[in-house]
Structure 1
Amino acid sequence: MASTSRPSVSASAMSYLLLVMVRDYHEKGKAGKAQLEEMGAQLGARLAERYTKDRPRFTEHTEVVLWTCKEFWQETFGKRVDNLKTNNRGVYVLTDVAFKWMSGLRPFGGDTEEESWALMMAHADSYGAFAGGVVRGALESLGLRCSVSQEPTSQSAATATSIEEFKPLGCKFTVRLAAGLGFGGVA
């Protein structure tokens, strides 16, 4: 009997690849962050095309966003989006409270706990740039012209009194659809 499951990438191999890639591009500053986002967009487009090859084309932008939050997120990040909000005018906010690609990040390297937190959040921003690119690439390959911004979130930063109380980082992605483009535009 043939298996219908998709081939998968080892979680540890993917974590290591992200670690090395983010480390190398993070050192390049804003230019490196832009490169991470573009590499993410290329990956996201390929993944979305692969995941949708056997399904009918989408006809509404809301269908694309919902599919992204459920199926694409599950296939790519191992779970569904925790929260989706919209203003019904082409802006969607996707929140993942424990973002898998940032699960290995911990405060590090500073002389004080505050410096360690700041270093971790700076690296989280680079991870987020790559992930935001993945989301943008997926949406654009499915016909939605958009921009995606991201913001790493920490449940710990406001409540933790020490590094030992750290909770995994989350990430909030804000998707802004380009007016007049994709499925006849945005109302």
Structure 2
Amino acid sequence: MGFRAGQGLIERFTKETPSFKDELDIMKFICKEFWTNLFWKQIDNLRTNHQGTYVLQDNRFRLLTPISSGKQYLEEAPKFLAFTCGLVRGALSNLGINSTVVAEISVMPAC
């Protein structure tokens, strides 16, 4: 469901945006515009190894904040990120990037 929703959302968000020149521009758009439209804040950190791997870090992810008071939900937290991974993967797919999106949580509500 997240994949299909991401495809549709990125079409709407990029309707009046000029075309992107490379992958880094697409990732910057995902971090700034796409994420802001979905979660009302930008990604806190974007890192890359310049070989096609990108790490997006959100230190206060909105979907994890309500359950982040203790460590009892740390094992269950990745279930809350599955839909969001699908959103990002669908958006990237629609922009021409075939990707694998994986979420990691070490300390909540950061992911």
TM-score, normalising length: structure 2: 0.91
1:146-185 mapped onto 2 (5 Å cutoff) = 146-154=99-107, 169-171=109-111
**Equivalent residue number for residue 95 of structure 2:** 142
5+ unaligned residues in a row in structure 2: which ranges? none
Query: What letter corresponds to residue 84 of structure 2 in structure 1?
Result: A
> Quick one: percent identity of the two aligned structures?
38
Higher radius of gyration, 1 or 2:
1
Q: How does 1:27-66 map to 2 (within 5 A)?
A: 39-66=1-28
Unaligned runs of 5+ in 1: 1-38, 108-115, 155-167, 172-187
How far the C-alpha of 1:59 sits from its partner, in A, is 2.8
Name segments (4+ residues, structure 1) moved above 6 Å: none
Higher RCO structure, 1 or 2 (CA under 8 Å, sep 6+): 2
After TM superposition, the structure 1 = structure 2 runs for residues 1-187 of structure 1, keeping only pairs within 5 Å, are 39-106=1-68, 117-118=71-72, 120-154=73-107, 169-171=109-111
Number of equivalent positions: 111
Would the aligned equivalents of 1:73 and 1:80 in 2 still touch at CA under 8 Å? Answer: yes
Q: TM-score, normalised by structure 1?
A: 0.56
Q: Please identify which structure carries the higher strand content.
A: 1
C-alpha change, 1:125 and 1:53, in structure 2 (3 Å) is: same
Paired residue secondary structure (1:67):
helix
- What is the SS of the residue equivalent to 2:92? helix
Alignment RMSD: 1.5
Secondary structure of 1:131's counterpart equals: helix
